[in-house]
Structure 1
Amino acid sequence: MRDFFLAEEDRSFRAEVRAFMSRELAPKVDAIERDQDFGAQLAIIGALGETGYLKLMFPDLYRGALPKPGLTHAVIVSEEAAFLNYAFETTVATALSCAYPIHRFAQEALRERYLMPILEGQSLGSICMTEPTVGSDSAGMETRIRFDEGTSEWVVSGLKRYVSNASKADVYIVWGVTDPYVPPQKGLTAVLIPAGVKGMSFPRLYDFMGRRGSIVGEVAMDEVRVPEENLLGEVNCGFNIMLCAFNFERVILGGSGLGVARAAFEIASQHAQARVSFGQKLGQKQLIWDMIAQMSWKIDAAELLTHRAAKMYDSGIDGKDLMREASQAKLVATETAVFCADRTVQILGGDGVTRQYGKAEQLYRDARTLPIVGGTSEMCKYLIAARELPSIRLNL
């Protein structure tokens, strides 16, 4: 039985979300993939806001039927969205990844101004971490954030790349160095920058092989100024915010991977039962049912790890105490998505690489992004091993 870690109310919620996605997202997936119609995504996000699904992560703001909403339910939304279209799920997950640190670390006035529009589906958020020379290695971050005593403003300069919702977001969370003379973990700070401020620009938007319809690009900041109250948390405490944000993002990505993997598996299993080759159903051949079996157990393993991490978070576990489990969820679910998409294409043969015969080739392109975004598979393995080998310092 799948959904092993879910209670009956969680399963009922999944059915509700699946019906919503079938009604609102399914009719628009072709426009998002083929025409890269971002307007279609915005319309669905508005509908998501009306349902209250974007508030699931924030029990103090949620007003729906679930007695104990949380990350478990946000993962379900992510999975069901990615099952139909991973590009749309990326847009939503990025907005939630921005809302999370605002809710947890922003001052009350900042929360009131910027958080609710995101959670009501009226605006988009974005997070800015990666730089031209910095991915997982935050020690090399070159973006600088300084405080101007004369104007009581934070001044931000730097270039971020691979920023989802770049140029489309209304709010950006930006990490930068405030103290270059201490270890990186003690000198990073995060600030909130609203769209439209002087000095912010978007030099380039990327054209990816997958996730067609999502907007990803560069965000440049040249002496961008924001008020003192736009600080998140405390000065030089941005690394802890980043760690918590990564945990959140990685568990959500577990849901993304599950959705893509399930979509591929459904195509493969149906084809294996319908296609006749050499007088037999394709699924009767050992090489094929071996692939089906591997996809099945990998999806189950990914689901168990993802739901475990989500349930742990909902019980109050976060930071370094969740780092291992969040990394395992992200690693296994995203690698499973790649495996399932690849094997599905192989099982379908020529139909698997042809757009005219279904979406297998789209899933193949979409899935390949998953082991890279939100922390590569290699970084996830490092974080897992670091927790398992506490007495030694691993070499990155």
Structure 2
Amino acid sequence: MKDYLLSEEDCEFRATVREFLQRELAPRAAAIEEHEDWDCVRAVVRALGQSGYLKLMFKDLYDGPLTAPGLTHATILSEEAAALNYAFETTIATAISCAYPLHRYARPEIKDRYLSGIVNGTEIGAICVTEPNVGSDSAGMSTRIEFDESNQEWVINGFKRYISNASVADTYIVYGISDPAVRAQQGMSAVIVPKETPGLRFPRTYAFMGRRGCVVGEVEFDHCRVPADHLLGQRDEGFRIMLSMFNFERVILGGSGLGVARSAFDIATAHAQQRVSFGQKLGCKQLIWDRIAEMSWRIDAAELLTYRAAKLYDAGTLTPKELMKPASMAKLVSTEIANFCANHTVQILGGDGLTKEYGRAEQIYRDARALTIVGGTSEMVKYLIASRDLPSLKLDL
């Protein structure tokens, strides 16, 4: 059922993107995985920017052949990139997630200054939300963003961790509490912090089991000062800005999960049709074809949910609150299925699935595990889905 919800133009776009990534990303994917080669990452990001692919979410900036660019096409890009290298896809998805609030909420002169480099591929963006005691419960953050009236500056103090593109990004969108006297949802703000800001430090980067080549680390803000016009939207509007970003991000993660699942499935089906065991091709065994069938229908289900959410977003007929459920479903199902497919692919390959010498199955297995955690855990998005289906109840997290 591939591309059932996509138009002919969408499918042509997919073919073009796939060809582009085969040319630019595929030859560099091994260096990104094996050597965590950031130069390779930056080279592909620049190529994407030069080709206009980082402007897909911004119709006023896009000048390519698509008649109505949007989240559907950004999700296709995400899926195709993740199928080749999920670590690289994380880098560009984070950059686009940074560009999104800049484009929508930054003041015109500030938007021009910080957005152009990201969408042109010459700079990288990052989003700073997670803290040592704050993950899915982002409203409980301790980072403070205070306004210095005398100097007309925002002063940021706090500590963030698990930040994608930390230390390598040029622009950081930082969320923090600007009014501690009220509920966090009513007293949170978002500001732009450029990399050269005094007091901005990067204590360490993390070594993960998967997503090698994606830089993730800590970001510390020690009396960082930025001008008043670096505020996104209005003061204390940060929580609403963050929620709108999360809907966008979760649909993109649906594309990421699809790409990883599809990549695992391709390896499993090829092996099942080639490997001979007890005188028969492996795929002739009921236990194997059962696993292949399970993977196949689950991928179709994930595709339908993901592109339904993307199309709903692009249609612009739903409020952010209404879009929360389909976006959460896309994220939940696609990322869970990516793990399902990665796990069963390794099992189908047996010993070959555990080694680096016999293909990418073990890499995909390690990469997939992050998908059900980043961008809202599976448990959190289930809560968001249920909260829409049980409107008369106040669910207890």
Q: Identify the TM-score tier after normalising by the shorter chain.
A: over 0.9
Structure 1 residue aligned with 2:165? 165
Q: Residue 309 of structure 1 contacts residue 325 of structure 1 at CA under 8 Å; is this kept in 2? A: yes
Counterpart of 2:115 in 1: which secondary structure? Answer: helix
What one-letter code is carried by the residue in structure 1 that aligns with 2:238? Answer: G
Distance 1:189 1:319 in 2: 18
Counterpart of 1:156 in 2: which secondary structure? Answer: strand
The CA RMSD measured in Å over matched residues stands at 0.6
Distance 1:78 1:211 in 2: 15
Q: 1:74-129: CA deviations, max 9, x gaps?
A: 00000000000001000000000000000001100111000011000010000000
- The offset of 1:138, in angstroms, is 2.0
Structure 2 residue aligned with 1:310? 310
Q: Residue 206 of structure 1 contacts residue 216 of structure 1 at CA under 8 Å; is this kept in 2? A: yes
Structure 1 residue aligned with 2:327? 326
Q: 1:331-377: CA deviations, max 9, x gaps?
A: 00000000000000000000000110000000000000000000000
- The offset of 1:318, in angstroms, is 4.4
TM-score, scaled to structure 2: 0.99
What one-letter code is carried by the residue in structure 1 that aligns with 2:324? Answer: M
Counterpart of 1:219 in 2: which secondary structure? Answer: strand
Counterpart of 2:225 in 1: which secondary structure? Answer: strand
Distance 2:319 2:79 in 1: 21
Q: How does 1:241-390 map to 2 (within 5 A)?
A: 241-316=241-316, 317-390=318-391
Q: 1:50-73: CA deviations, max 9, x gaps?
A: 110100000111000000000000
Distance 1:190 1:320 in 2: 20
Runs (4+) of structure 1 moved beyond 4 Å? Answer: none
What one-letter code is carried by the residue in structure 1 that aligns with 2:100? Answer: Y
Unaligned 5+ residue runs, structure 2? none
Q: 1:196-248: CA deviations, max 9, x gaps?
A: 11000001100000000010000000010000000001111111101011111
TM-score, scaled to structure 1: 0.99
What one-letter code is carried by the residue in structure 2 that aligns with 1:356? Answer: E
Q: How does 1:1-396 map to 2 (within 5 A)?
A: 1-316=1-316, 317-396=318-397
Counterpart of 1:374 in 2: which secondary structure? Answer: coil
- The offset of 1:184, in angstroms, is 1.3
Distance 1:366 1:234 in 2: 38
Distance 2:6 2:140 in 1: 41
Distance 1:249 1:60 in 2: 20
Counterpart of 2:207 in 1: which secondary structure? Answer: coil
Aligned residues: 396
Distance 2:181 2:320 in 1: 25
Distance 2:247 2:86 in 1: 20
- The offset of 1:18, in angstroms, is 0.3
Distance 1:123 1:328 in 2: 32
Q: 1:292-338: CA deviations, max 9, x gaps?
A: 00100110010000001100110113411110010000000000000
What one-letter code is carried by the residue in structure 2 that aligns with 1:115? Answer: L
What one-letter code is carried by the residue in structure 2 that aligns with 1:60? Answer: D
What one-letter code is carried by the residue in structure 1 that aligns with 2:393? Answer: I
Q: Residue 303 of structure 1 contacts residue 333 of structure 1 at CA under 8 Å; is this kept in 2? A: yes
Q: 1:366-392: CA deviations, max 9, x gaps?
A: 000000000000000000000000000
- The offset of 1:183, in angstroms, is 1.2
Distance 2:246 2:136 in 1: 11
Unaligned 5+ residue runs, structure 1? none
Distance 1:106 1:369 in 2: 31
* Percent identity (aligned): 65
Counterpart of 1:225 in 2: which secondary structure? Answer: strand
Q: 1:281-302: CA deviations, max 9, x gaps?
A: 1111111011000100110010
